[in-house]
Chain A
Amino acid sequence: MASYERRSFDVLVIGAGGAGLRACIEAAAAGVTVGLITKTLLGKAHTVMAEGGIAAALANVDERDSWKVHFADTMRGGQYLNNWRMAELHAQQSPDRVRELEAWGALMDRTDRGKILQRNFGGHAYPRLAHVGDRTGLELIRTLQDHGVHQGIEVFNEYTVTRLLKDGGRVSGCFAYDRNKGSFIVFEAKALILATGGVGRAYRITSNSWECTGDGHSLAYEAGADLIDMEFIQFHPTGMVWPPSAEGILVTEGVRGEGGVLRNSEGRRFMFDDIPPLYRDQTADTEEEGWRYVIGDRDARRPPELLTRDHVARCILREVREGRGSPHGGAFLDISWIREKIPSSEEHIRRKLPSMYHQFMQLANVDITKEPMEVGPTTHYVMGGVRVDADTQMSTVEGLFAAGEVAAGLHGANRLGGNSLSDLLVFGKLAGEHAADFAKRRGTVSLDEGEIDLAAREALAPLDRRGEGVGGEGPYQVQFALQDLLQEKVGIVRDAERVTAALHEIQGLKARASGVAVNGSREYNPGWHTALDLKHMLVIGEAAARAALTRTESRGAHTRDDHPGKDPEWGKKNVVVRRSSTGEMEVDTIPCPVIPEHLQQIIREQG
């Protein structure tokens, strides 16, 4: 049997993005022992990339804002498939979570009165996003990291978890490997929090980091937890499309919040051409009104560029398909035009959007203060994930908690920009609190040696196969094939035929994945790591495809060419994916939690 080190904690957190760090801080404050595992280095998790801001109804810029408006905006954005209780907690608690960041040293941009400044973002009725230029994620992660390292948390940098371990029905720990040494380690934990982030790397074109391979989704699935809403994958409308090397890299919605407009090759602001009924009353009629909104006229309504992401992405796709796209298959996003409106526009743009300026200069030789950018949809965020209890964040498996992007419920069919960073803080905290509580209340766990042995053999398999001459295919080829497949067949626009074909091809890829062989030693071997990622990415692909096939309607981020309209029946159900007793993926539906009357009232009032 393979040798391994063994460690034990009350609460073990997998993932050091915003959700994981916030959970650790809370659990440590409750007086339990806390371990933190991350497959990248501390402070480098995907959260660091977040740009635009953190949504919280602080009402510093527009005093009409309140948690009620934020709640209603979140529900509308999610097309009412959200878990109302999560949306309520999120809207109520995010202001405190943001202020708390200041107590830990964050320095957000200020209003004239010296309070936290807030900016406009798609789907939010008022300027709501606390931010630091366009590097808000860096501010958030560094603040939590610098505070967190003094809270007695033990951090395991560059350790990758490959399997969860169970003691009967309850989670008891996990199996991981140390990338630097290539050695194994077994963690025992009374409670375990998944904070592993998203799945974007399962697609070819994505804004996501290397680490976003859906590990937590797949680990939870394998351990028997329910996943919900896996058909809802957000394609952000504005990723870079040129040059090829920069394809997919995000262009923050902040560009549009600051007045950036979308045009087609004919120079037309095509977003005015199709405004969904749900948003008609809140959207500007003219370009002039849209600009007034940008500069803070409280009577003006939002420009259509700030409609929800699913809609903007589809409009861009429509322009491209109908032959009015930009030279490299996107649309034009122009912020430089504001020179007609403000005198020192170039400096203004560089100050408000410094990293966008830098990104386009460095990667595309485009000066965004002078010329338009070319943008198109990029795989950005997964609304679906581990089904959790709204108040405690515990999954359907005892002792297994989830928070952040890996958890589902808050965002429903479509997430509003800015609502993820606040999600991380609010539910990271709740998960930390309740996992600590669970660990205190419940006795110790025992580990199953058989399971550990199985995990070790599974992890070593790709290395063991290198001598056999069987399969022999490299891991990257299978990874690329899967990324292409999901991009083409389970992408922005789906239909039964393509999704069914995708499911068929995924079976073939599974077979290829199980034959992958890697060479080299165990220390810091990316080929080996990629081989182990394949299992997770295949689960993501299959779950997304099965859920997409099941939901025979178009809603939010899920668009079916063969079922173009919304179906009221589907508006009451979430799709569940779980592992059956025979190990197959089974699909089920559950009714959405019924929104209580007082919250329905709020939704009606907010129109």
Chain B
Amino acid sequence: MDKATFKIWRGHAGDGAFETFETDVWHGMVVLDAVRAIQAEQAPDLGVRWNCKAGKCGSCSAEVNGMPRLMCMTRVREMGMDKPITIEPLHTFPHVRDLVTDVSWNFDVKKRIKPFTPAPRDADGSWTMAQSDVVRPQEFRKCIECFLCQDVCHVLRDHRRYDDFVGPRYLVHLAQLEMHPLDTGDRLDELRTEHGVGYCNITKCCTKVCPEGITITDNAIIPLKERVVDRAYDPLRKLVQIVTKKPARS
């Protein structure tokens, strides 16, 4: 059987070093399989977070050969086996242990975003929405909250703007709310201020790493930026929007 070498970051709360492991590689093996095999045979206390092992829950995010990826959807062979494969925890969040980071900041951010507020129901107690009107927000609702986009965004990763910028994941969430056919909430002022949409300079790194293939920058962030700008420069429209509570679709 083929073998592969892994260099896995081990340690506590930021202190640590790479440790090298070798393990058998079987057909179709993904990086998470390798980590679990190492856990079972060599390092039972190797800290790693995972749950579904099917790319659905967004738990197993890590940096594999320097790229933010889901370990359960990354084939070992795809990473090239001639050199050791490195696995590190996400860099953007506080380190807990080995491959595990503390992503709780993300949950706090979501709580600060104004929740969904629906329009009144139809007479029959339900709502009517055309498929064509739900397609775009449905794209955003594919998000599995893996936080890979948050990890790669330089505003958070390098500039540490945790207090001023919600990050691509939550711009996607905000776009979903803003483009939801039933929502009556208005979040454009906060988008400009506390959510910090202006910090994004459209490098598109987030879109590149999204395992759900969400077109984060083009479909979510740019339209949000446009709405914010429209609001700022069009006082009449702003007035209309305040009266109707919902931004006119551009």
Q: Which A residues are closer than 8 A to B by beta carbons?
A: 40-46, 48-49, 99, 102-105, 107, 109-110, 113-117, 132-133, 135, 137-139, 142, 146-147, 149-150, 155, 157, 180, 209-211, 242-246, 249-250, 355, 358-359, 362-364, 474-477, 480, 518-521, 523-528, 530
Q: Shortest CB–CB separation between residue B199 and chain A, in angstroms?
A: 24
The reply to whether B44 and A523 form a contact with Cβ atoms under 8 Å apart is no
The reply to whether B183 and A526 form a contact with Cβ atoms under 8 Å apart is no
The reply to whether A525 and B142 form a contact with Cβ atoms under 8 Å apart is no
The reply to whether A525 and B47 form a contact with Cβ atoms under 8 Å apart is yes
Asked if B116 is an interface residue, CB under 8 A from chain A, the answer is yes
- Encode contact with A along B126-170: 1 for CB under 8 Å, 0 otherwise: 111111001001100111110000000000000000000000000
**B29 to chain A: which residues have CB within 8 Å?**
243-245
- Interface CB pairs A-B, < 8 A, 20: A102-B127, A105-B118, A107-B137, A107-B180, A109-B134, A110-B130, A110-B131, A114-B128, A116-B126, A135-B142, A146-B115, A180-B102, A209-B57, A243-B29, A249-B54, A355-B56, A362-B75, A363-B73, A477-B40, A524-B49
Asked if B236 is an interface residue, CB under 8 A from chain A, the answer is no
Q: Shortest CB–CB separation between residue A9 and chain B, in angstroms?
A: 19
* A113–B131 CA distance with the chains assembled, in angstroms: 9
Asked if B68 is an interface residue, CB under 8 A from chain A, the answer is no
The reply to whether A102 and B145 form a contact with Cβ atoms under 8 Å apart is no
**B104 to chain A: which residues have CB within 8 Å?**
157
Asked if B107 is an interface residue, CB under 8 A from chain A, the answer is yes
Asked if B103 is an interface residue, CB under 8 A from chain A, the answer is yes
The reply to whether B47 and A526 form a contact with Cβ atoms under 8 Å apart is yes
The reply to whether A41 and B59 form a contact with Cβ atoms under 8 Å apart is yes
* A527–B98 CA distance with the chains assembled, in angstroms: 13
- Which of A109, A138, A211, A362 is B144 in contact with, Cβ under 8 Å? A138
**A475 to chain B: which residues have CB within 8 Å?**
44
| Given the contacts A99-B125, A107-B137, A110-B131, A527 and B110 also touching, CB distance less than 8 Å | no
Most buried by B among A104, A146, A150: A146
The reply to whether A115 and B141 form a contact with Cβ atoms under 8 Å apart is no
| Given the contacts A44-B59, A527-B44, A209 and B52 also touching, CB distance less than 8 Å | yes
| Given the contacts A48-B57, A132-B138, A146-B110, A109 and B131 also touching, CB distance less than 8 Å | yes
Q: Shortest CB–CB separation between residue B219 and chain A, in angstroms?
A: 15
Q: Shortest CB–CB separation between residue A131 and chain B, in angstroms?
A: 12
* A215–B165 CA distance with the chains assembled, in angstroms: 39
The reply to whether B44 and A520 form a contact with Cβ atoms under 8 Å apart is yes
* A117–B183 CA distance with the chains assembled, in angstroms: 20
| Given the contacts A157-B104, A244-B27, A103 and B141 also touching, CB distance less than 8 Å | no
- Encode contact with A along B98-120: 1 for CB under 8 Å, 0 otherwise: 10101110010011000110100
Q: Shortest CB–CB separation between residue A406 and chain B, in angstroms?
A: 17
The reply to whether B45 and A114 form a contact with Cβ atoms under 8 Å apart is no
The reply to whether B52 and A48 form a contact with Cβ atoms under 8 Å apart is yes
Q: Which residue of A lies closest to B143 (CB)?
A: A142
The reply to whether A142 and B130 form a contact with Cβ atoms under 8 Å apart is no
Chain B residues numbered 73-108 whose CB sits less than 8 Å from any CB in chain A: 73, 75, 96-98, 100, 102-104, 107
* A246–B39 CA distance with the chains assembled, in angstroms: 19
Asked if B30 is an interface residue, CB under 8 A from chain A, the answer is yes
The reply to whether A245 and B57 form a contact with Cβ atoms under 8 Å apart is no
- Encode contact with A along B44-76: 1 for CB under 8 Å, 0 otherwise: 111111111111111100000000000001010
- Encode contact with A along B180-222: 1 for CB under 8 Å, 0 otherwise: 1011000000000000000000000000000000000000000
Q: Shortest CB–CB separation between residue B81 and chain A, in angstroms?
A: 15
Q: Which residue of B lies closest to A132 (CB)?
A: B138
The reply to whether B115 and A150 form a contact with Cβ atoms under 8 Å apart is yes
**A530 to chain B: which residues have CB within 8 Å?**
44
* A120–B39 CA distance with the chains assembled, in angstroms: 42
Asked if B26 is an interface residue, CB under 8 A from chain A, the answer is yes
The reply to whether B56 and A476 form a contact with Cβ atoms under 8 Å apart is no
The reply to whether A114 and B54 form a contact with Cβ atoms under 8 Å apart is no
**A146 to chain B: which residues have CB within 8 Å?**
110, 115-116
Asked if B28 is an interface residue, CB under 8 A from chain A, the answer is yes
Query: Can you list the 8 inter-chain pairs with the closest CB atoms, starting with the nearest?
Result: A243-B28, A520-B45, A527-B44, A105-B116, A114-B128, A245-B28, A476-B40, A524-B47
Asked if B230 is an interface residue, CB under 8 A from chain A, the answer is no
The reply to whether B51 and A523 form a contact with Cβ atoms under 8 Å apart is no
Chain B residues numbered 1-37 whose CB sits less than 8 Å from any CB in chain A: 12, 26-30, 33
**A114 to chain B: which residues have CB within 8 Å?**
128-131
* A45–B55 CA distance with the chains assembled, in angstroms: 13
**B128 to chain A: which residues have CB within 8 Å?**
113-115
16 extra interchain contacts, Cβ-Cβ under 8 A, other than A157-B107, A525-B47?
Answer: A40-B51, A40-B59, A41-B107, A43-B145, A44-B51, A102-B126, A133-B138, A138-B144, A142-B141, A146-B110, A149-B107, A243-B29, A474-B44, A476-B44, A518-B45, A524-B98
* A37–B134 CA distance with the chains assembled, in angstroms: 33
* A589–B99 CA distance with the chains assembled, in angstroms: 48
| Given the contacts A44-B51, A210-B53, A523 and B12 also touching, CB distance less than 8 Å | yes
| Given the contacts A44-B58, A107-B141, A138-B144, A519 and B129 also touching, CB distance less than 8 Å | no
The reply to whether A528 and B45 form a contact with Cβ atoms under 8 Å apart is yes
Q: Shortest CB–CB separation between residue A344 and chain B, in angstroms?
A: 17
Q: Which residue of A lies closest to B104 (CB)?
A: A157
**B54 to chain A: which residues have CB within 8 Å?**
49, 249-250, 359
| Given the contacts A147-B116, A150-B115, A362-B73, A526 and B48 also touching, CB distance less than 8 Å | yes
The reply to whether A209 and B51 form a contact with Cβ atoms under 8 Å apart is yes
Q: Which residue of A lies closest to B59 (CB)?
A: A44
* A475–B40 CA distance with the chains assembled, in angstroms: 8
